[in-house]
Amino acid sequence: MDNSHQKKYYENLIERIKNCEKHHFSDEDKVAFLKMLKYAPLPHIIRINKKSQYFYLVKEYLIKNNMTDKICDNIFLVKDGLRKIDRKMAKLNDKDIKLTDKQVQNKILFNSLVDLGIVTNQEIVSMIPSSFIITIAQKAQPTDLFLDMCAAPGSKSGHILENNVNLIMNEVVKVRANVLSARLGDELEKFVICGDGRKFPLVSYTDDKDFHGTVKFHSILADVPCSGDGTFRKNYLPEETPSRAASIKNMTKIDDDIEIIADIPENKVKSFEELAIARKEFLQVVGFSKNPILNIELLQRALELTENYVIYSTCSLDPIENEFVVANVDAEICDWKEIGNCVFDLVNITDTAKIEPTIKARLVYRPGIQECKKSPFSFSNKKLYKTMRFYPHDNNTGGFYIAILKKRNDFIKKSDPENSAEEEKELLPVYTMPEESVRSIKIKPNLFLKINNTIYNQISEDLRNSLVTFYKLNLPDDCIFLATERSKKKIIMFRSMQAFALAKAGNCTNFGSTVFELDKRMKNEPEHARDYKIINFAPLKPFLTDYIHIKTTKFFRYMLKHSVHFDEIPDMENQQLLKDWQHANGIFYCEGIFCKGYISSDSVTLMINKKEKDILNLVLPVDD
């Protein structure tokens, strides 16, 4: 089967872009774009989680073994031959795949790294929206809160969280919200709300001392639902499969509808609402959708909630999902240089200024489309030039669109002398979500939270003190622990009262970090720290003051496979810790890695799952 449906769709899309602005896309661009479509699978880009305790070991191993090329910071290009083969998509049988032992080992390693949230496969242009939030957060206060309004599947959220940003994630579909939580791994603190972003609540909260606060978002990422037509290289196929052909055919049908609707006289279709009613199939197609009304509403709500910026993005190249949406909200369009970017060096393709050397990853963009005359999708705004279009043939990437918006001070559209009369016309009338009153939450003195039908209550002061003393923790006062109500099997930790207020007000599916779990071997009532084991060191690591240091990687490797007697541990400095943690779980450390180990009367057994053991056996350096 050839790629005829796919080719037709993108040829139509290119013509529509050229009809908006003739000089935006040349004939040479069209040839280069379609060549990418036919011949060029996407480069394999990964991001290593900087919050993971395995970060430095994994990074050094990949570089040393010539498996990756560094792009910048924690972003790497995986070299040929290491991309995970999807046998179904590639139509290959096991017999057809001939791999060396080293390739098999590397594939297993990559799969384990992804499963544990240590490595994320992510297209490089997909990291640009999150990099703007990271840049903004660097200039904000440590307690400022940020929101990812449409967070699943989670790559951008993970990128933000790895950079110590207080992030709330929202996802409307519960299954996707759960996938989001699982995909981010255990080392990132997760606050996931399941709800319609258009109705995301305004929340105020009070405590037992009559303190009043309101949950505020410094800035918001709105990576909205879209057709995804910029991602055609992500799952590259030399030939179309029946399912891919059907999906592209649906998208092509949408474009055929667009051409038909665009020819209807303006007096016949006065608003997008009427269009939605008249052409329902245009707005919702199984598998793919182009729903600018939804995106306008999401973006408008984001502007209502933010105190500063909204980063609007799609993995689409269609002006209807991009410039048309931005042109129909009440906001100031900003140049990216107003906030800068700490990860990428972004270069306007029309810029003739000398390009200076940089250690950042350099990507070329084209200015946004300023005008489209086809009704009812027409728009005109010179400031759309400040938005950014990333085309596959400019950077050897996928396609992406990004707009940086700022709420106006009075949030009322004003006349701008720079704009033409066309640009001063009223915004398109779109459906407005019914207003909700501010939700008021009382968060103290009794802290409790319901997550997926499980109730969590604040642990007793005695249990908290026991955990602090037993595990040698120097905890700040704002660290709060909640445990499952009846069994106290799991204890979660969090520090943000604003996030807690949101979790109580919304449909929370994941909250904070699960740090302790009841050890099944313990027969005591779960009111003492020795009954619990640490299952997540990432949030506790800054507060650990003492642990058993294994000084040689050779012996640590040995401990990964065997239980060891106390006397076998070389250069043991703190014998007292073995006594303190006897018949319980202790903390062990080697080469930046913390792990738990069960300490019996005379021996130690490290408690590490198989995937982590396999990774450590590969990436741990060998002692001289």
Q: How many CA atoms lie within 13 A of 262 on its CB side?
A: 16
Give strand ranges (E) for 370-470: 371-372, 379-380, 388-390, 400-406, 439-442, 448-451, 454-458
378 annotated binding-site participant: no
**Dihedrals φ, ψ of 565, to 5°?**
-75, 150
Q: Is 479 one of the catalytic residues? A: no
114 and 225 in contact (C-beta within 8 Å)?
Answer: no
Burial letters 141-166, b for 16+ CB under 10 A, else e: eeebbbbbbbbbebbbbbbbbbbebb
154 annotated binding-site participant: yes
Q: Return d(Cα 30, Cα 36) in angstroms, integer.
A: 10
150 and 224 in contact (C-beta within 8 Å)?
Answer: yes
Token readout for 9 is 């769709």
155 annotated binding-site participant: yes
Q: How many CA atoms lie within 13 A of 186 on its CB side?
A: 16
445 annotated binding-site participant: no
Give bridge partners of residue 222 from the DSSP assignment.
312
Please list, in sequence order, all residues whose beta carbon lies within 8 angstroms of the beta carbon of residue 419, skipping any fewer than 6 positions away.
381, 382, 383
Count CB-CB contacts under 10 A for residue 606.
21
474 and 545 in contact (C-beta within 8 Å)?
Answer: yes
The DSSP code sequence of 297-333 is: HHHHHHHHHEEEEEEEEES---TTTTHHHHHTSS-EE
Give bridge partners of residue 220 from the DSSP assignment.
147, 310
207 annotated binding-site participant: yes
Tokens 């009070």 belong to residue:
206
Please list, in sequence order, all residues whose beta carbon lies within 8 angstroms of the beta carbon of residue 500, skipping any fewer than 6 positions away.
443, 447, 449, 480, 494, 511
Q: How many CA atoms lie within 13 A of 386 on its CB side?
A: 19
Give strand ranges (E) for 370-499: 371-372, 379-380, 388-390, 400-406, 439-442, 448-451, 454-458, 480-484, 490-494
222 annotated binding-site participant: no
For Cα atoms 190, 221, 344, give the angle at the middle one, nearest 5 degrees: 100
Token readout for 192 is 């996931």
Closest CA to 68 of 134, 121, 10: 121
Q: Return d(Cα 414, Cα 411) in angstroms, integer.
A: 9
Kindly name the residue from 20, 194, 226, 315 that is annotated as catalytic.
315
Count CB-CB contacts under 10 A for residue 93.
8
476 annotated binding-site participant: no
386 annotated binding-site participant: no
Which letter does DSSP use for residue 258 in this model?
H
284 and 293 in contact (C-beta within 8 Å)?
Answer: no
318 annotated binding-site participant: no
The DSSP code sequence of 78-104 is: EPTT-SPP-HHHHT--GGG----HHHH
Token readout for 383 is 């400031």
Give bridge partners of residue 518 from the DSSP assignment.
532
320 and 258 in contact (C-beta within 8 Å)?
Answer: yes
Binding positions for S-adenosyl-L-methionine are 150-156, 207, 223
Binding positions are 150-156, 207, 223
Q: Mind telling me the catalytic residues? A: 315
